[in-house]
Chains A and B, each alone.
Chain A
Amino acid sequence: MPASLRELRERRASVSTIKKLTRAMELIAASRIVKAQQRAAAAGPYARELTRAVSAVATYSNVDHPLTTEKPDPKRAAVLLITSDRGQAGAYSSSVIREGERLNQLLRDDAKEVVPYLSGRKGIAYYTFRQREVAQSWSGDSDSPSFARAREIADALIEAFLTPTEEGGVDEIHIVFTRFVSMLTQRPEVIRLLPLEVVEGDEPPAPDEVLPLYEFEPSASEVLDGLLPKYVASRIHYCMLQAAASELASRQRAMKSATDNAQDLIESLTRQFNQARQAQITQEISEIVGGASALADANAGSE
């Protein structure tokens, strides 16, 4: 049974309001992606120079640093899960959380205890709803992460890493984040942050490249002491920037399809509305015609 004209008109109005909304969100996400990409590009030189320096120390000296040393029998593993603060981003948060769950399972199968660290309200909500214990969590700036926030996280993780396992420390640290491959593809990924596997720069030196002989001031181990925490912070910042760009790209795509769907719905509602209106007019005409002929018949009979 066709809905009434008034109902159809109301539904169409509300769908077009929703369309305006999702369209606005799509545009906002699109403009922020550009900014997020610029930020990622601006953070590039720092990360590149740091990687170069860290691999220089690692290559030209044989110092052992606690942050690069594998612990013999890892028991506790920290997992930093980077999610978004807000929803309306399609499957973004759920797919990164799913990747995190997979990693957790893998670690548990290896008889390691998982210590979760969370960034972003969505992840926090997921964990609190399931009443899981969380070591530490951060939220508030998932779509434009600052370096200060990355350092805060890095400091907390390094501290946990340097604490002995028996006193609640962890033996290894993994990050689960979403890599921004392109506007269309964002992939949830896992990387191991600590112990560091140095020389994993974006561009490994060519095999025939002669690497320079370095002087260290004051000494290689002290330089490494100063560098590694910065390197860790810069890696985390990189992951967060990637995650932010991915979040915005997913949001833009989700909002685009929402806008398209709203448009389809508006079209079909308009059709139904026109049909109902036409049916009403036809009915009115046939009623008038019927009434007129009945009147004519009655008049003819009385004469």
Chain B
Amino acid sequence: MADESAKHLEVALVAAERTVWQGQAKIVIARTTDGDVGILPGHAPLLGLLQGGTVQVRTTDDEYFVAAAPDGFISVANDRVSILAENAEMGRDIDLEEAKLALERAQAAGTDSEDEQEHVRLAEARVRAAEQAS
């Protein structure tokens, strides 16, 4: 089993109400509060808070995608990578124009309260993911 699992990562991108994506990947790149981390098979167990809200994944089929995972966190153990975010979304599913409008609206609403800051962060993550995906 060690040989098999050493070649790829089992990745699950999970939102609160559904599993967004699940599959095998070669590498996962995520930005935590301490900077970017690239996770390859065999990575030490890790638990980190995501910042910036995007995660990049290269699958075993050499497909590359970006996902928005605002205010999420990543957990790595035994070549299993779980990315959890309440509002996780695939970058290619996000409409860039619509996301930009949502960001403007969120910024216009102000950034005083915690809730508003969270809305802005969420909108930023969606725009970033959509930009990188296109």
Contacts and interface: CB of A to CB of B under 8 A. Distances in A.
A and B from one assembly? yes
Interface of A: 39, 42-43, 45-46, 49-50, 52-53, 56-57, 146-147, 151, 212-218, 222-223, 226-227, 230, 234, 237
Interface string B4-23: 00000000101111110000
Contacts of A146: 17
B98 interface: no
A49 B47 contact: no
Contact of B49 (A56, A218, A234): A218
A50 B83 CA distance: 10
A102 B12 CA distance: 42
B60 to A, nearest CB: 21
Contacts of A227: 73
Contacts of B75: 49, 52-53, 56
A56 B48 CA distance: 12
B132 interface: no
A72 B37 CA distance: 41
B14 A222 contact: no
Given A49-B84, A53-B75, A215 B45 contact: yes
Given A214-B46, A217-B48, A49 B82 contact: yes
B44 A217 contact: no
A217 B18 CA distance: 26
A217 B16 contact: no
Nearest to A213: B45
A226 B15 CA distance: 16
B59 interface: no
Interface of B: 12, 14-19, 32-34, 37, 44-49, 71, 73, 75, 77-78, 82, 84, 86
The 10 closest A-B pairs by CB, nearest first: A217-B48, A212-B45, A147-B16, A217-B32, A49-B82, A214-B45, A215-B46, A218-B33, A226-B49, A53-B75
A230 B47 contact: no
Given A49-B84, A53-B73, A217 B17 contact: no
Q: Which of A42, A146, A222 has the most CB of B within 10 A?
A: A42
Contact of A230 (B12, B19, B37, B86): B86
Contacts of A147: 16-17, 86
A212 B15 CA distance: 24
26 contacts: A42-B19, A43-B16, A43-B17, A45-B19, A46-B16, A49-B12, A49-B75, A49-B82, A52-B82, A53-B73, A56-B45, A146-B17, A212-B44, A213-B44, A213-B45, A214-B77, A215-B44, A215-B46, A216-B47, A217-B32, A218-B32, A218-B49, A223-B47, A226-B49, A226-B73, A237-B16
A46 B16 CA distance: 6
A265 to B, nearest CB: 43
A260 to B, nearest CB: 36
Given A42-B17, A217-B32, A223 B49 contact: yes
Q: Which of A56, A151, A226 has the most CB of B within 10 A?
A: A226
B47 A45 contact: no
Contacts of A214: 45-47, 77
